[in-house]
Amino acid sequence: MRLRMVRYTEDKKIFIKILYWGCAAGGKTTAVDTLYQLCSETPMDVIPTGTLKKIAMASGSTLYFDRGIFQNKREKSLYYHVFTVAGQTRFGKTRKILFEDTDGVIFVADSQKSRMQDNIDSLKELKKIAEGKLISVIPLLVMLNKRDLDDIVTLEEWEDVMKENGLLFKPTEPLFEWNPIIYETVALPDNPQNVYRIFSECARRCVMYTVYGDGKAPGKRDIKLPPDVPDL
Ligand SMILES: Nc1nc2c(ncn2[C@@H]2O[C@H](COP(=O)(O)OP(=O)(O)OP(=O)(O)O)[C@@H](O)[C@H]2O)c(=O)[nH]1
Ligand SMILES: [Mg+2]
């Protein structure tokens, strides 16, 4: 594998950094908690190593970040460092630092209509910090979370937000095939929806960008079959 973005350690371990980003109380910590639980209890293609580290306030809201490490079961040298940012507006500086060296982003949007402006502000902040690298260099996926609640936006309404922010390409545009998939999710552990699927797709895209795109979104011609991408 030709690797640029992801990091090696001396003992040949490969680390991929996946960041959950979004406004306060959107469900980032819950999603990673549930991911941990799912991968611990059911045989999945990744396993958590150690416990999930959470630095939170008494309210449960994240103060600095959460961090979990997952190992790919087939490619045992491949690890995923999973972080969540602290979503409260006042923690902007911490979020900027945490963004450094990120290989893939999962944007967690709170589906409730009342939270739309907060989601949009958070998306714009992410765009600014990413300096044009989203999708072209850093794969992006979206959790449209809390689908179990009432008074939520439709998938189409969220697609419009993505289009308005230049994050959803037309079929004629080169990055179209790497458009962020918008997953309708429930992050709560009792009846989770799409929590593992989105993580798995993000991890897969990070590896595809690295192996076939030399750290960028690969073009169709760059992808040679059969892919030597670890099966996630
Ligand atoms: N109904 C519902 N509630 C959810 C869902 N996901 C998270 N929550 C709830 O939303 C609240 C906030 O969740 P957190 O995971 O702490 O949110 P966060 O994005 O980490 O927030 P910050 O750390 O402040 O950035 C908690 O009460 C969760 O139980 C969901 O899919 N459905
Ligand atoms: Mg949190």
* Domain membership flag for residue 228: no
Ligand 1 touching residue 60 (CB < 6 A): yes
Residue 5 pLDDT > 80, yes or no? no
Mean pLDDT of 52-78: 94
Query: 166 C-alpha vs ligand 2 centroid, how far in Å?
Result: 27
When the pLDDT of each residue in the chain is averaged and rounded to a whole number, the result is 92
Domain count, the chain: 1
Model confidence at 133, pLDDT cuts 50, 70, 90, reads very high
Domain limits at 170?
7-222
- 218: CATH: 3.40.50.300
Strand stretches in the chain, DSSP E = 7-8, 14-21, 46-56, 62-72, 78-85, 104-110, 140-145, 182-184
The residue contributing the CA closest to ligand 1 atom 14 is 27
* Domain membership flag for residue 227: no
Ligand 1 touching residue 148 (CB < 6 A): yes
* Domain membership flag for residue 2: no
Q: Which ligand is nearest to the CA of 52?
A: 2
Q: In this predicted structure, what is the pLDDT of residue 3?
A: 45
Q: Are 124 and 36 in contact (CB under 8 A)?
A: no
Give the residue, out of 21, 29, 114, with the most ligand 1 atoms within 8 A of its beta carbon, to mutate for a pocket test: 29
Q: In this predicted structure, what is the pLDDT of residue 112?
A: 98
Residue 232 pLDDT > 50, yes or no? no
Residue 148 pLDDT > 90, yes or no? yes
Residue 4 pLDDT > 90, yes or no? no
Distance CA(1)–CA(16), nearest Å, equals 14
Ligand 1 touching residue 184 (CB < 6 A): no
The residue contributing the CA closest to ligand 1 atom 11 is 25
Least confident of 44-58, 127-141, 194-208, 212-226: 212-226
Residue 84 pLDDT > 60, yes or no? yes
The fraction of the chain above a pLDDT of 90, given in percent, is: 85
Q: In this predicted structure, what is the pLDDT of residue 170?
A: 96
* Domain membership flag for residue 16: yes
Q: Are 170 and 159 in contact (CB under 8 A)?
A: no
Ligand 1 touching residue 192 (CB < 6 A): no
Residue 164 pLDDT > 60, yes or no? yes
* Domain membership flag for residue 156: yes
Neighbours of 74 (CB within 10 A): 10
Q: In this predicted structure, what is the pLDDT of residue 108?
A: 98
Q: Alpha carbon 86 to chain centroid distance?
A: 14
Q: Which ligand is nearest to the CA of 86?
A: 1
* Domain membership flag for residue 137: yes
Mean pLDDT of 101-130: 98
* Domain membership flag for residue 232: no
Question: pLDDT (tens digit, 9 = 90+) per residue, 214-230?
Answer: 899 998 777 665 555 55
Question: pLDDT (tens digit, 9 = 90+) per residue, 11-42?
Answer: 778 999 999 999 999 999 999 999 999 999 98
Query: 212 C-alpha vs ligand 2 centroid, how far in Å?
Result: 33
* Domain membership flag for residue 193: yes
Query: 91 C-alpha vs ligand 1 centroid, how far in Å?
Result: 17
CA-CA-CA-CA torsion sign (6, 9, 14, 16): negative
Give the residue, out of 19, 21, 30, with the most ligand 1 atoms within 8 A of its beta carbon, to mutate for a pocket test: 30
Residue 231 pLDDT > 50, yes or no? no
Task: Mention every residue, 6+ apart, whose C-beta is less than 8 A from residue 51.
Answer: none
**Cα–Cα distances in angstroms (integers) from residue 144 to residues 11, 109, 164, in the given order:** 38, 5, 17
